[in-house]
Amino acid sequence: MENPKCRVRIKIWIETEDGDTLFGEGQISVLEAIEKEGSINAAARSLKMGYRSMWGRLKKLEQRIGQPLLIRRKGGQTGGESILTPEAGAMITSFRNLKRRIEDASTKIFEEEW
Amino acid sequence: MENPKCRVRIKIWIETEDGDTLFGEGQISVLEAIEKEGSINAAARSLKMGYRSMWGRLKKLEQRIGQPLLIRRKGGQTGGESILTPEAGAMITSFRNLKRRIEDASTKIFEEEW
pLDDT tens-digit readout, B30-72: 999 999 999 999 999 999 999 999 999 999 999 999 999 999 8
Helix (H, G, I), strand (E, B) or coil at B62: helix
> B91 and A10 in contact by Cβ < 8 A?
no
Give pLDDT tens digits for A43-92: 999 999 999 999 999 999 999 999 999 998 876 666 678 999 999 999 99
Residue contact B90–A1, C-beta within 8 A? yes
A71 touching B (Cβ < 8 Å): no
pTM of the prediction?
Answer: 0.86
Nearest to B22 by CA among B53, B67, B52, B55: B67
Query: B45 in helix, strand or coil?
Result: helix
Name which of A109, A110, A111, A113 to mutate to probe chain B: the one with the most chain B Cβ atoms within 10 A of its Cβ.
Answer: A109
Q: Which chain B residues are Cβ-neighbours of A28 within 8 angstroms?
A: none
The full 3-state SS of chain A, as one line of letters, equals: CCCCCEEEEEEEEEEECCCCEEEEHHHHHHHHHHHHHCCHHHHHHHCCCCHHHHHHHHHHHHHHHCCCCEEEECCCCCCCEEEECHHHHHHHHHHHHHHHHHHHHHHHHHHHHC
Residues of A in contact with B99 (CB under 8 A): none
Candidates B6, B98, B106; nearest CB to A16 = B6
In A19-48, the residues whose Cβ lies within 8 Å of chain B are 22
d(CA A91, CA A103): 18
Q: Nearest CA to CA, how far is B37 from chain A (Å)? A: 25
**Do B66 and A3 make contact, defined as CB atoms within 8 angstroms?**
yes
Residue A15 dihedral angles phi and psi, to the nearest 5°: -130, 165
B chain contacts of residue A22, beta-carbon cutoff 8 Å: 3, 6
Question: What is the pLDDT of chain B when averaged over all its residues?
Answer: 92
DSSP summary character for residue B19: S
Residue A109 has its nearest CB partner, among B5, B98, B110, at: B98
Identify which of B7, B17, B105 has the shortest CB distance to residue A15: B7
Q: Does B51 touch chain A (CB under 8 A)?
A: no
Residue numbers in B near A110 (CB within 8 A): 98, 102
**Burial of A8 by CB count in 10 Å (0-12 exposed, 13-18 middle, 19+ buried)?**
buried
More confident residue, A111 or B4: A111
Distance, CA of A29 to CA of A83 (rounded, Å)? 15
ipTM at complex level: 0.87
Q: How confident is the model at residue A1 (pLDDT cuts 50, 70, 90)?
A: low
How many inter-chain contacts (A to B, CB under 8 Å) are there? 104
pLDDT surpasses 70 at B3: no
| Res A113: pLDDT | 85
